[in-house]
Amino acid sequence: MYTLVDLANLIFPDIKLTIADLEKKYPARNLKEGAMVTRFAPSPTGFLHTGSLFTSLISYRFAKQSDGVFYIRLEDTDTKREIEGSGADLVKQLAYFGIKPDEGYISDAEEIGSYGPYKQSQRADIYKVVIKYLIEIGRAYPCFCTADDLAALRQYQEANKIIPGYYGEYAKCRKLTVDEAMAKIKAGEPYIIRFKSLGDHNNKIKVHDEIKGDLELTENDQDIVILKSDGLPTYHFAHLVDDHFMHTTHITRGEEWLSSLPIHIELFKAAGFPLPKYAHLPVIMKEENGNRRKLSKRKDPEAAVSYFIAEGYPTYAVIEYLLTLANSNYEMWREQNLDKPFTDFKLSFNKMSLDGALFDIEKIANIAKERLALKKASEVEAELKAWAKIYDKNFYEKIIADEAYITAILNIDREKAKPRKDYAKYSDVYPLIKFFYNDQFAKLVEAGYEWNPEKSKEEIKDILSYYKANYNLAADENSWFNDLKTICPNFGYAENTKDYKKNKEAYKGHVGDIAEFLRVAMTTKKNSPNLFAIMQILGKDEVIRRLDLAIASLEA
Ligand code: GLU
């Protein structure tokens, strides 16, 4: 008669350490009362999803604001779905948004901290210590069922309308005696390891979620697989072991995991580990034709964080937007504390939205416009330069060729009481200001000036010629505009729009039309940033050259 200990030794002859040894190796963290240890635990299966940026941001902020620890753990036990190199990319993208771990996986060649390894595929022996213990106490067992056995079980359960799964009376291998199981192993039969659940799906268990409060969930009774045939554990089991030995205090993860919570609770109890706190975060949803659905990798470009990076949304705008999704009081706080960094805001679980957070890209754009408008031109220039270096090489060359020039351009209507809110993202800048660069201006001219079709070319030409002959760039915008007004009577234009509106028949146009002619001459467009500032930045010679070009084109 063999014992469970014999079975455990037969399965794991090389595992000599015990749980007590691991507890010594990974002692409790020496943190102050209330400090939270949180983690981001991505699987390296592709790109960083916007939902993952959201969950990692929240985990990160909770750790930071409590003087705790935020770490990254790579959950790479599903080797079939792994995409080479994506783990390190995820870490880099998080860092781009300022989310840098205190500890954990950085890349396949680098990790920080003494609670590692932080890559699950390198922790096989640690999991095996705990599985060995579970076998010894009769809470885990080898299962020899083949894929065909499991398919037949599923068919039988479906046909008889029985709750599907490997549990209770349907868990064939849990009924094997130790001797029978050992004989099969010795005979070389392949097997995996299952957890032995003691639950019953007719029971409810009470659980507490930091966000959702007290919940009643159906008790687990499934004998889930904990060790696969490739020697690696499943997510459920790996997270139990890792969060225990890495001393996670709060498991902040997507709501999609809530339904697995009863399994996790039973696993923690079986292993004799104290249960950490759980906070299931809302999933980011999108509204489409009046219906809500999850932000989808396939349908929505904004589901990938790389989209925001490539488009050049300032990271702080994306982060602040995600904070507005996270806590209902964030926006109010922001309005009242415009000059403070967002890190001063204290996140709380009880202000977290309970249903799916609705994603709104327009709102990111608005936040970005507000935040960018409040920055100094030199700060925007530095951000723009760093972005263009990777995502718009042509613009980057222009930026570095004359940084004072682009800074002056960016300073148009900035650093004043009501700054202009032109840009939501760095990629918005160049299309709006490229006319400042002569090679681009030439292309715009080739594409055509946006002259007002209601005015004769002759008249526009005469006005521009007159303006050129009398050109004198005034020192300030008011005197410049007054100068512009003095041209009006010569051409039968009203000096202000009010006069014009009162008596349209008496005039050919008004001072605004003249400003528009000039604007089109300088930029080819009817809309542009502040015209006076544009002319100042272009400088007298270039203003005259552009007037000449416009006049020549009107003659053609
Ligand atoms: N690897 C899991 C995922 O990518 C992590 C879930 C968790 O945070 O525990 O969804």
pLDDT (tens digit per residue) in 501-513? 998 899 999 999 9
Residue 293 three-state SS = strand
* CB distance 43 to ligand 1 below 6 Å: yes
What's the gap in Å between 43 CA and the centre of ligand 1? 7
Alpha-carbon distance of 358 to 355, in angstroms, equals 9
* Atom of ligand 1 minimally distant from the CA of 243: 9
Alpha-carbon distance of 205 to 275, in angstroms, equals 14
* Cβ proximity of 235 and 77 under 8 Å: yes
Mean pLDDT of 345-353: 93
What's the gap in Å between 87 CA and the centre of ligand 1? 13
pLDDT score, position 228 = 96
pLDDT band at 466 (very low <50, low <70, confident <90, very high): very high
pLDDT score, position 353 = 80
* CB distance 236 to ligand 1 below 6 Å: no
Q: Whose CA is nearest to atom 9 of ligand 1?
A: 253
Mean pLDDT of 270-281: 97
Q: Whose CA is nearest to atom 8 of ligand 1?
A: 253
pLDDT band at 471 (very low <50, low <70, confident <90, very high): confident
H/E stretch holding 94: helix 86-96
* CB distance 75 to ligand 1 below 6 Å: yes
pLDDT score, position 523 = 98
Beta strands 110-112 and 284-288, pairing class: unpaired
DSSP state of 505: G
Mean pLDDT of 167-179: 97
pLDDT score, position 63 = 98
Sign of CA dihedral 90, 41, 16, 139: negative
What's the gap in Å between 387 CA and the centre of ligand 1? 30
pLDDT (tens digit per residue) in 397-438? 999 999 999 999 999 999 888 899 999 999 999 999 999 999
Among 59, 249, 253, 258, which is best to mutate for testing ligand 1, by the most ligand atoms less than 8 A from CB?
Answer: 253
* CB distance 44 to ligand 1 below 6 Å: no
> Which residue in 551, 548, 544 sits closest to 472, CA to CA?
544
pLDDT above 80 for 476: yes
CA distances in angstroms from 385 to 370, 372, 401, listed in the order given? 20, 14, 11
CATH topology identical between 4-16+124-281 and 444-555? no
pLDDT (tens digit per residue) in 33-91? 999 999 999 999 888 999 999 999 999 999 999 999 999 999 999 888 889 889 999 99
Which residue blocks in 294-376 are alpha helix, DSSP H?
Answer: 305-311, 315-326, 330-336, 361-373
- Report pTM: 0.90
Mean pLDDT of 134-140: 98
Alpha-carbon distance of 140 to 266, in angstroms, equals 12
* Cβ proximity of 69 and 37 under 8 Å: yes
* CB distance 253 to ligand 1 below 6 Å: yes
* CB distance 239 to ligand 1 below 6 Å: yes
pLDDT score, position 287 = 86
Mean pLDDT for the chain?
A: 95
For the domain 444-555, what is the CATH code? 1.10.10.350
* Cβ proximity of 124 and 237 under 8 Å: no
* CB distance 73 to ligand 1 below 6 Å: no
* Atom of ligand 1 minimally distant from the CA of 39: 8
Share of the chain above pLDDT 90, in %: 88
pLDDT score, position 473 = 75
pLDDT (tens digit per residue) in 294-335? 888 888 999 999 999 999 999 999 999 999 999 989 999 999
pLDDT score, position 288 = 85
Q: Please, what is the angle between helix 477-487 and helix 457-469, to 10°?
A: 130
Beta strands 69-72 and 37-40, pairing class: parallel
Alpha-carbon distance of 371 to 279, in angstroms, equals 30
Structurally, what CATH architecture does the domain formed by 4-16+124-281 represent?
3-Layer(aba) Sandwich (3.40)
3-state secondary structure 230-279: CCCECHHHHHHHHHHHCCCCEEEEEHHHHHHHHHHHHHHHHHCCCCCEEE
What's the gap in Å between 385 CA and the centre of ligand 1? 35
What are the residue boundaries of the structural domains of the chain, listed by start? Answer: 4-16+124-281, 377-436, 444-555
Q: Whose CA is nearest to atom 7 of ligand 1?
A: 253
pLDDT score, position 46 = 86
pLDDT band at 191 (very low <50, low <70, confident <90, very high): very high
* CB distance 42 to ligand 1 below 6 Å: yes
